[in-house]
Structure 1
Amino acid sequence: MAAGGLDEDDEITGINITPMVDIILVLLVIFMVTTTTINQIEGMEVDKPDAASGKNLGELPQSIVLVCRGEDEFAIDGEPVAGDSAEAVDSQIAAAIKARVAQNPELQGIVNCDTKAQVGAMVHLIDLLRENGVTKYAIATEPPPRAEG
């Protein structure tokens, strides 16, 4: 027998925690990789202001307001956009956005659609904002009606 070895009848008094530490480190690496992967998923982030505490449009001087009413009726900062085709309207909106972004790179876009407008029109306006350099945008809402009583 070796002088420092264990006998078959000796008790094991020490706990080897190396395998447990190895497993914890592997799990840590897996969680770190998974977290970075989840954060890199491309999506359309929308800064939706709370309807009860939203800001007035007058309080946002560095913004461009895109309005869609009903079907195929668009306006930029209250000025109607006229065009023979959807492409002509899109090019006018894109040109206005580019001009405003050239003046102010921190421009915020506000999309204001009425209840008769299609969701596709709202998403299309957000796409136009993103394609033309606007990184911050919001969807305009109205405060909820007060309950009587």
Structure 2
Amino acid sequence: MSMHLPNDDEGGEMSEINVTPMVDVMLVLLIVFIVTAPLLTQVVKVELPKTEQTEPTPDKHVAILAVTAGGEAMLDDKPVPLPNLEGELQALQKRDPNISVQLQADRAAVFDSVAKVMTSAQRSGIGKLSFVTVEQ
């Protein structure tokens, strides 16, 4: 049986889809998304992992490069000004091509100082650079 409308000249069936309920559902979903999206974009708080304490291996091919809390560079317990650090590391590399540098940075050291020391080590040609940490 088909539905017959009085104004229908052709006498056919009504075959249109009513999209109003679908549009209503989509608008509700859009509003829910707009409301919840800002809640999902919070600052992610990351707790950095703690490391196990390791003792540096005694080796004659190791140099200790430290950055103090004040941002000063120390090479084998001798203070070295940052502008001269690259030259000191190059001389160290020429004396011992297999040299490995262990970087120790004080917790209170500004990252800018640590980055400058790392850049000096890279420019000087040091191929082995490791970071020394302590257990917390």
TM-score normalised over the length of structure 1: 0.52
Identity of aligned residues (%): 14
Larger radius of gyration: 2
Structure 2 CA distance, aligned partners of 1:67 and 1:123? 12
Task: Give CA-to-partner distance per residue, 1:19-69, whole Å, 9 cap, x none.
Answer: xxxxxxxxxxxxxxxxxxxxxxxxxxxxxxx94253326x13212211111
Q: Structure 2 counterpart of 1:62, which letter?
A: H
Task: Give CA-to-partner distance per residue, 1:111-135, whole Å, 9 cap, x none.
Answer: 1111110122212211111100101
The runs of 5 or more residues in structure 1 that have no matched partner are 1-49, 82-88, 145-149
The runs of 5 or more residues in structure 2 that have no matched partner are 1-49
Q: 1:120 aligns with which of 112, 117, 123?
A: 112
Correspondence list, 1:13-32, <5 A: none
Q: Secondary structure at the match of 1:64?
A: strand
Tell me if 1:72 matches 2:71: yes
Name the counterpart of 1:52: 52
Q: Secondary structure at the match of 1:71?
A: coil
- Kept in 1, the 8 Å contact 2:71–2:110? The answer is no
Q: Structure 1 counterpart of 2:72, which letter?
A: E
Name the counterpart of 2:85: 93
Name the counterpart of 1:107: 99
**Alignment root-mean-square deviation, CA:** 2.0
TM-score normalised over the length of structure 2: 0.56
Q: What count of residue pairs does the alignment treat as equivalent?
A: 87
